[in-house]
Structure 1
Amino acid sequence: MNILGISSFYHDSAACLVRDGEILAAAQEERFSRVKHDSDFPKQAIAYCLQAAGLTSGSELDLVAFYEKPFAKFDRILSTSLALAPRGLRPFLKAAPTWIKQKIWLKEIIRNELDYEGKIVFPEHHESHAASAFFPSPFEEAAVLTIDGVGEWTTSSIGHGSGNRIELLRELRFPHSLGLLYSAFTYYLGFRVNSGEYKVMGLAPYGEPRFRDLILAELIDLKPDGSLRLNLKYFNFLAGLTMTNRRFAALFEGPRRQPATDLTQRHMDVARSLQAVVEETMLRMARHAHALTKSSNLCLAGGVALNCVSNGRILREGPFEKIWIQPAAGDAGGALGAALLAWHQFENKPRQVSLTGADRQRGSFLGPDYDSREFLRAQKIAATELPNAELFGEVARLLAQGHVVGWYQGRMEFGPRALGNRSILADPRIATVQETLNLKIKFRESFRPFAPSVLRERVSDYFELEEESPYMLLVA
């Protein structure tokens, strides 16, 4: 049975093809369109998934699963705007034509784009996140924690997965959201919402958490179980086209930073303070998930689950023996989750867990592969081909000499992290390498971090980490 999962029309559009419960292919539209966080209908990602499965058209699919319920999401948007009228009507009317097309006529869009007349299912947004976290995991049963900005109404959920079923036990509802809190600070610090949150996490280590207590006193009411309520007088996302307001700026000693202007120590301190609050909140949520499920395993998904610093704290300080995080934890992974949810729960098909302890994500190498010789010929690039034994030695020599190496092999990664198949390699012992990579090669902010790659048997020589971390989602 061929099931296509789709996520689109918010950010990070993606497609995933599952055949009889096996993940065959998954890719984000941005990898083909070259538009960062592309939100359009993922035509090219779908075409790739069909091709990878040996299908010639969408008419050969048995089932299509979209990652959320468009009518429920539109209900939230409409009811929120009406509740705040007349203040909320202006932004609603501005966006209404696009929303109506994308939300109300979604089924027709899918049928027309795919030439597909079969069944289409619409799980809830956080059901898709939960499915993406649990079903590919190596666990027979686990607590499941999903955290993001907002789906239909849910902003965080706690569930329990067992066999081929997931039961959602608790939820936090809009407008109270850890993800929206993070996005508000992303906006205030001058980065793009739904795009620059990882920059805030990267900026945090350069600051001091001097605003932590202020955030907890003024912005959020954080409960022992990790649930929270935002003080909405400081936020503008309900009725306006911005995330924060003047009260928010006054609270943090200055106006919103304009994009591309210099970052000050105050900005770094704000980022560090936010990170401290997020870590504490996620840790409380994880502990509550353990109290509800009594499981020794935890699965995580949702955009906030990409906060690898918080994940590391949950592993070190939380009650779980093992955790597994969906590599495409954001909305892109919703396509994968929707497809697996359709197979296991909608179709009631059994789920097999590997006896070796391996997950079903296939290293997250689920994207397209291209023949390197064909590429070099097409681009007329001169190259020397070496056998692997010589190639590895030559690459090691170049790295030790301070050179930067582009490494390409196999299938493209699914998710935001470069996991070794499309990666830039450099020697971390060289003091100038971070500046070289950030400013001269990747053309990005100088504070942005890089991930170390270490042999499993040598991890404890350098880091306080006992678990494998193949997906760049845990900070030791």
Structure 2
Amino acid sequence: MKFLGIRLDEHDSNITYTDGVNVKYFKPERNNQIKHFGYNNLSAWLEAEKILDFKLSEIDAIALVIDVFRHPWCKREDPEALYESITIPVEPFKDLKCPVYRVDHHYAHSLSCWPLKDNSATDFVLDGFGDLYRSCSVFSRNKMMDVYTLETMFSFGKFLANFGQHIGVLGIGDDAAGKLMALKQFGNVNHKFYNHLQQYELKDSKNIFDWHAFEKIVGSKLAAQYQYLDFLRTVHDYMEEAFPKFFLKHAHPTNVITYSGGIAQNVCINSKLKKHFPKIIIPPHCNDEGLTLGCVEFLRQLYEQPKFDNKNFPYWQSDEAPIKGPSEKTIRDTAQDLAKGKIVGWYQGHGEIGPRALGNRSILMSPEVKNGKSILNDRVKHREDYRPFAASIKIERTKEFFNWEGESPFMLYSVKFKDKIFNPISHIDGTSRIQTVTSDQWYYNELLNEFEKITGLPMLLNTSLNDNGKPIAGKPADALALLKNSDIDSMVIGDKSYNK
């Protein structure tokens, strides 16, 4: 059967099509280069018909994630229903013969983890908010076991976004939470306030985020105004402990669990969860970019179809791939440039699903470049000076450099260096967000091998192939524009290198 999953409305629209086996994915921001782009009507998404190569008339079923309050024709959500059959009285839906379903936002998140697991005991979803202003949902075997709204558990993501705006963090609002995750390390824990928070659980988040309580403990409203980062650091550190406690109320540490939703991008919280739940699964598309993967999985289960093929996941973007990959010579030459301290753009195959660069759409640098972090932030990414960079490392050598066991394929954990700290890939707290690389990523793994032969280091600084405020490059032309408008030294697109 042929299924279509559609995410419309405010931000991060995406489309997934499957012919019953193969999965094709399209995120329009990679095509139009408007970050967090959302379709604001019910027909603009039809551009995906050509890009994903399907005919709407041949689709057997459609599942959508939409914001009900934006569409007058859509009936009010049933709080007990995880999905419902709907009739959409406008083109292109009104004349379709296939059934159309609206899927609950959080339910779609929970189902989106299918490329990474067969079964899970518990599925956690925490984000800004989903349908019916839900901030947190807990599922088990496709049944909702627990649910909270913004009233009963205010979203940590919403708090960070609001607080970032209050203290003057610039840029796109949807990116503020990630920026504050980095910025909080520049503050100090106020231990009196931390002790005050000990009485609260995750569900008491409104009390945890209480600025007035912080002012009282500081003893002066004026003095508190100069301690924004201390407040942020204290709240964030406390939430890093509160999340595992909440999860432990719903799952056993030995369980396979999944965690999705926008807050699952917080690597500090993820690292604490990993210690309690070694089998936790967090997908690279944990934010709204994964919703339509959940939609097609919902349809697969509803119609009792065979499981989809997850081959080459997560490199599923329907963007423009080079005609051919890099030759061994191109890989060697690129490794030599990196060993010399050059900044290299790396555009190979299809792009990754999710906001992280995982070796197909990357800006690369040696982790030994002096002032490398400042150079990249100032002259390439044109972004705030406090923001750190991640590292890609060969999985078999990870333990030599980091206090980490096992895989971290999607850059979703923050880990301590073991001995030597490499400043370009280190945050102020002596941690790095790492991606472990295996031989399955042949081109990228070979590049690491060649770099290791020259330098002895099995790792590279890796950041996404984009400028500040722009999405990751979706076409070679986007990559070449970045080469032109930044201090990147060369851009490797497929087997061709473009140098300044």
**TM beyond 0.5:** yes
| CA offset digits 1:10-68 (Å, max 9, x no partner) | 22111112332x461223222122222112249776634x446531x322221111125
> Is 1:37–2:36 an aligned residue pair?
yes
- The answer for unaligned runs of 5 or more in structure 2 is 77-85, 416-500
Alignment partners' CA distance in 2, 1:129 and 1:297:
16
**Please, which of 132, 149, 167 is the counterpart of residue 173 of structure 1?**
149
Q: Counterpart in 2 of 1:406?
A: 345
Residue 184 of structure 1 aligns to a residue in which SS?
A: helix
1:187-226 counterparts in 2 under 5 A?
Answer: 187-191=165-169, 192-210=172-190, 214=193, 217=196, 222-223=200-201, 226=202
TM-score by length of 1: 0.74
| CA offset digits 1:308-341 (Å, max 9, x no partner) | 121111112x1x2312112111122112112211
- Identify if the C-alpha distance between structure 1 residues 11 and 361 changes in structure 2 by more than 3 Å, giving closer, same or farther: farther
Residue 391 of structure 2 aligns to a residue in which SS?
A: coil
Alignment partners' CA distance in 1, 2:408 and 2:110:
20
Alignment partners' CA distance in 1, 2:136 and 2:17:
26
Q: Which residue identity is paired with 2:238?
A: V
Alignment partners' CA distance in 1, 2:183 and 2:26:
28
> Is 1:304–2:263 an aligned residue pair?
yes
Q: Which residue identity is paired with 1:348?
A: E
Q: Which residue identity is paired with 1:155?
A: S
Residue 249 of structure 2 aligns to a residue in which SS?
A: helix
Would you say the 8 A contact 1:142–1:295 is kept in 2?
A: no
- Identify if the C-alpha distance between structure 1 residues 348 and 440 changes in structure 2 by more than 3 Å, giving closer, same or farther: same
Alignment partners' CA distance in 2, 1:156 and 1:100:
24
User: What is the CA-CA distance between 1:128 and the residue it aligns to?
Assistant: 0.7
Residue 34 of structure 2 aligns to a residue in which SS?
A: coil
**Please, which of 228, 232, 243 is the counterpart of residue 282 of structure 1?**
243
- Identify if the C-alpha distance between structure 1 residues 34 and 315 changes in structure 2 by more than 3 Å, giving closer, same or farther: same
Q: Counterpart in 2 of 1:26?
A: 25
Q: Counterpart in 1 of 2:469?
A: none
Q: Which residue identity is paired with 2:57?
A: S
- Identify if the C-alpha distance between structure 1 residues 101 and 432 changes in structure 2 by more than 3 Å, giving closer, same or farther: farther
1:3-152 counterparts in 2 under 5 A?
Answer: 3-20=3-20, 22=21, 24-41=23-40, 47-48=47-48, 50-51=49-50, 53-55=52-54, 57-68=55-66, 70-71=67-68, 74=69, 99-100=70-71, 108=88, 111-112=91-92, 116-133=96-113, 135-152=114-131
User: What is the CA-CA distance between 1:431 and the residue it aligns to?
Assistant: 2.5
Residue 398 of structure 2 aligns to a residue in which SS?
A: helix
Q: Counterpart in 2 of 1:330?
A: 287
1:361-400 counterparts in 2 under 5 A?
Answer: 362-372=312-322, 388-400=327-339
- Identify if the C-alpha distance between structure 1 residues 45 and 142 changes in structure 2 by more than 3 Å, giving closer, same or farther: farther
Q: Counterpart in 2 of 1:321?
A: 278
Q: Counterpart in 1 of 2:304?
A: 348
User: What is the CA-CA distance between 1:453 and the residue it aligns to?
Assistant: 0.4
Q: Percent of counterpart pairs with the same letter?
A: 25
Alignment partners' CA distance in 2, 1:276 and 1:65:
38
Once the two structures are overlaid, the 10-residue window that deviates more, 364-373 or 276-285, is: 364-373
Q: Counterpart in 2 of 1:227?
A: 203
> Is 1:272–2:233 an aligned residue pair?
yes
Would you say the 8 A contact 1:128–1:335 is kept in 2?
A: yes
> Is 1:186–2:167 an aligned residue pair?
no
Alignment partners' CA distance in 2, 1:115 and 1:436:
55
- Identify if the C-alpha distance between structure 1 residues 25 and 266 changes in structure 2 by more than 3 Å, giving closer, same or farther: farther
Q: Which residue identity is paired with 1:64?
A: I
Alignment partners' CA distance in 2, 1:39 and 1:215:
39
Q: Which residue identity is paired with 2:125?
A: T
Once the two structures are overlaid, the 10-residue window that deviates more, 188-197 or 146-155, is: 188-197
1:225-264 counterparts in 2 under 5 A?
Answer: 226-231=202-207
- Identify if the C-alpha distance between structure 1 residues 136 and 285 changes in structure 2 by more than 3 Å, giving closer, same or farther: farther
User: What is the CA-CA distance between 1:188 and the residue it aligns to?
Assistant: 2.5
User: What is the CA-CA distance between 1:170 and the residue it aligns to?
Assistant: 1.2
Would you say the 8 A contact 2:321–2:348 is kept in 1?
A: no
Alignment partners' CA distance in 2, 1:203 and 1:471:
22
User: What is the CA-CA distance between 1:204 and the residue it aligns to?
Assistant: 2.1
Residue 291 of structure 2 aligns to a residue in which SS?
A: helix
Would you say the 8 A contact 1:58–1:115 is kept in 2?
A: no
Q: Counterpart in 2 of 1:89?
A: none
Residue 121 of structure 2 aligns to a residue in which SS?
A: strand
Once the two structures are overlaid, the 10-residue window that deviates more, 402-411 or 335-344, is: 335-344
Would you say the 8 A contact 1:204–1:271 is kept in 2?
A: yes
User: What is the CA-CA distance between 1:430 and the residue it aligns to?
Assistant: 1.3
Q: Counterpart in 1 of 2:458?
A: none
- Identify if the C-alpha distance between structure 1 residues 109 and 450 changes in structure 2 by more than 3 Å, giving closer, same or farther: farther
Would you say the 8 A contact 2:254–2:278 is kept in 1?
A: no
What value does the CA root-mean-square deviation take over the aligned residues? 3.4
Q: Counterpart in 2 of 1:465?
A: 404
User: What is the CA-CA distance between 1:369 and the residue it aligns to?
Assistant: 4.1
Alignment partners' CA distance in 2, 1:41 and 1:114:
18
Structure scoring higher RCO (CA < 8 A, sep ≥ 6) equals 1
Alignment partners' CA distance in 2, 1:138 and 1:26:
19
Q: Which residue identity is paired with 1:2?
A: K
Alignment partners' CA distance in 1, 2:213 and 2:14:
34
| CA offset digits 1:231-260 (Å, max 9, x no partner) | 4996xxxxxxxxxxx9599678779xxxxx
- Identify if the C-alpha distance between structure 1 residues 108 and 288 changes in structure 2 by more than 3 Å, giving closer, same or farther: same
Alignment partners' CA distance in 2, 1:144 and 1:399:
41
Q: Counterpart in 2 of 1:418?
A: 357
Would you say the 8 A contact 1:146–1:157 is kept in 2?
A: yes
Would you say the 8 A contact 1:369–1:412 is kept in 2?
A: yes
Alignment partners' CA distance in 1, 2:209 and 2:331:
58
**Greater share of helix residues, 1 or 2?**
1
Would you say the 8 A contact 2:137–2:147 is kept in 1?
A: yes
Alignment partners' CA distance in 1, 2:317 and 2:6:
15
